[in-house]
Chains A and B, each alone.
Chain A
Amino acid sequence: MAKPKVGYTRRALLGSGAAALAASALPAPMLWAQDTKDITLRQFGTGVSNLNEVAQKVKEDLGFTLEMTALDSDSVTQRAATQPDSFDIADIEYWICKKVWPTGNLQAMDTSKIKNYDKIVGIFRDGKLTPTSEIAQGTAPHTVGFVDGPGSTTFATEETGWMTLIPTIYNADTLGIRPDLIGRPIKNWSELLNPEFKGKASILDISSIGIMDMAMVVESMGEHKYADKGNMTRDEIDLTIGIFTEAKKNGQFRAFWKSFDESVNLMASGEVVIQSMWSPAITAVKSRGIPCVYQPLEEGYRSWGGGIGLSKSLSGMELDAAYDYINWYLDGWVGGFLMRQGYYSAVPETSKNFMTADEWGYWFEGKPATGDITNPFGDVLASAGDTRDGGSFYDRMGAVACWNAVMDENQYMVRKWNEFIAA
């Protein structure tokens, strides 16, 4: 199968010196650069991890070209489900995997070829962060992380050696607040609908994520206890959206946001003091010198995770290159790059090698920073003495209450959501 795409040319042989260097720097199973340099892998995904820096580094370290396309979650889902030949690597979230896997457009990955498989965080393997952790509601990654073998379109309940997605990036989300404009501690999700913040609250207008934030609020208000927030019944959907429609009509919300930038502007301009938010948005507000806190709440976090899946049509050289890419991804450089922006990597211990002790302490261990903490783009995010909102990795990921999910009643929910937005 592994047939070289091109013959050996003089120019390619000249390039092999560089490849040898890269090969010795990275002990991952390497292909000869003569062949790989002509390989192009097409990756698409949801912007978060589709970063040009990653593609550049891939070219440097592995030699092949990675073409990246960033789309919104809905388009990503549609493309993965309907155009399997338009991509080689799908960088998708686990809840999208639940929708897309049954179409058979992705191929299962042999974990024996994944060098750092054993070091992947438990959340993505048996579902438990530590042996004693409880598994959160929603589409928990491990529930859609494995299949019985190549070609299987149904998910397995335990680790089988065949993975659907290789986890790459994940985080725990909560509400963002402006502590200077609120002036008192915020401890619960229910505060989002507190009349005190009438006209100063916001929620995101992306149905699959927004509904989970809503469920966290409704449960926190004591209105309803869900059997599974990630899989509501029609009645529960009606109840949840009903409560928010009522609040909307009473003028609770200043605006809804759909894109990252909108959430940053709403918060930075003071139009909104409490809203659903993503962690890099908090960073963006802070970097303008405006106080903004990613407030840990008693009910816990709403978490999300993304991973890389391989297209069914990948084979031969390209497939080998894709495995190289995955091994490289888990090898630490990307992990460090992402963790210095506030995300988590699937194999934190390899990322540690690419972070300073202070960065590791601040981002992962929840320790006070000893100096300025900068992100990979050079912006200062925290200075000496600051600690991360929510604390250490185990504090944050250990307090996850639910995962982003796709429900059985998804279409009904979407229609109701559309009505909520239009109401």
Chain B
Amino acid sequence: MTRTLVGWLQAAPLALILLCFLAAPIVMIVIVSFWGATEYSIYPAFQFDNYEFLFGSEVVWRVFGATFRYAAITWALTLVIGFAVAYFLAFHVRSTTWQIALFLLCTIPFWTSNIIRMISWIPFLGRNGIANKTLIDWGLIDAPLEWLLYSDFSVILAFVHLYTLFMVVPIFNTMMRIDKSLIEAAYDGGASGLQTLWHVIIPLTKPGIMIGTIFVVTLVMGDFITVRFMSGSQRANVGRLISNDIGLLQYPSAAATAVVLLCTVLIMIAILLRFVNIRKEL
């Protein structure tokens, strides 16, 4: 057996799996996005109706805007929180045992379902919820704050809560690989704490930040259930547009929206990857 043949054989299982379960479904979605739909069935066709409606509707444009806004705000908040947590774990906690223990502590909430963690905010933030009751008891407010629940605030709060760990893990991982002598060298060279952070740690952590960014951005862009529950269906993102279409049996229209969303996310990731070479990390 030649070496090339062995190589091909070794690559074949993964290639086959990716072909069947990743490439083929996407191709299928692209095909269906050109089909037509009646009230309860879809029929093969090659028409641009779905895309025409998608790009022609002002609502769709606004929904895409809202999706980007959610992604950007969530990204910024998870980055700041995630970086701070990872920095604390990597540089302030000295013993490895404690590092592992505290790291595991961060993952405990993930032992329950994502949906439950999200829904448990609802009674807390509600009009007669714990947050409002406490604030009223303390005399800080006279009337319940309406914007706590079923608003952009609650949606972003849930996103940040759900996805910060996806930022913490890769950043912590990169920070642990930073050679401690580099930091000592920076101090010896007279750099202040902030200067060390800015000129040494952040540049070296970039691949981790980038991986975390990809996680958070793709998760938020593709989400529909968080937006649906936390906004009480009052807000929409692209995922909800797709799920509404599916609920109303408009599969071709849902497929077209999915294709546009997929392209958008792929372009965003391609741009991100121009800035940082994450292969160094893998």
Number of interface residues of A (CB under 8 A): 34
Size category of the B interface is 20 to 34
Whether B39 lies near A422 (C-beta < 8 A) is no
Q: Which of A73-81, A115-123, A380-388 has 4 or more CB atoms under 8 Å from chain B? A: A73-81
Bitwise interface map of B from 49 to 72 toward A, beta carbon under 8 Å scored 1, else 0: 000010001011011000000000
Contact A419 B41 (CB under 8 A): no
In the docked arrangement, what's the CA distance between A19 and B244, Å? 49
Say whether chain B's binding surface is mostly helix, strand, loop, or mixed. Answer: loop
Q: A78-B40, A199-B146 are in contact. Are A256 and B233 (CB under 8 A)?
A: yes
Contact A258 B233 (CB under 8 A): yes
Q: Decide: B245 and A418 in contact? CB cutoff 8 A.
A: yes
A422 touches B63 (CB 8 A): yes
Q: Is B220 an interface residue (CB 8 A)?
A: no
Task: Let me know if B269 is at the binding interface, CB within 8 A.
Answer: no
Q: How far is the CB of A273 from chain B (nearest CB, A)?
A: 10
Tell me which residues across on chain A come within 8 A of B245, comparing CB atoms: 418
Contacts of B247 in A (CB 8 A): 72, 74
- What residues of B have a CB within 8 angstroms of the CB of A100 in the complex? 40
Residues of A236-284 at the interface with B, using a CB-CB cut-off of 8 Å, are: 248, 253-258, 265-266, 269-271
Decide yes or no whether B127 CB sits under 8 A from chain A: yes
A408-420 to B contact mask, C-beta < 8 Å, 1/0: 0011001101110
Bound complex: CA of A77 vs CA of B39, how far in Å? 9
- Which of B40, B123, B232 is A99 in contact with, Cβ under 8 Å? B40
CA distance A199 to B232 in the complex (A): 12
30 chain-A/chain-B pairs, Cβ below 8 angstroms:
A77-B39, A78-B249, A99-B39, A199-B146, A202-B232, A248-B234, A254-B150, A254-B232, A255-B233, A256-B232, A256-B233, A257-B232, A257-B233, A265-B122, A269-B123, A269-B126, A269-B127, A269-B128, A269-B129, A270-B126, A270-B127, A271-B127, A271-B149, A411-B39, A414-B250, A419-B57, A419-B59, A421-B240, A422-B236, A423-B236
Taking Cβ atoms with an 8 Å cutoff, the residues of A that contact B are 72, 74, 77-78, 81-82, 99-100, 199, 202, 205, 207, 248, 253-258, 265-266, 269-271, 410-411, 414-415, 417-419, 421-423
Q: What residues of chain B have their CB less than 8 Å away from a CB belonging to chain A?
A: 38-41, 53, 57, 59-60, 62-63, 122-123, 126-129, 146, 149-150, 231-234, 236, 240-241, 244-245, 247-250
The 4 closest A-B pairs by CB, nearest first: A255-B232, A256-B233, A422-B236, A81-B40
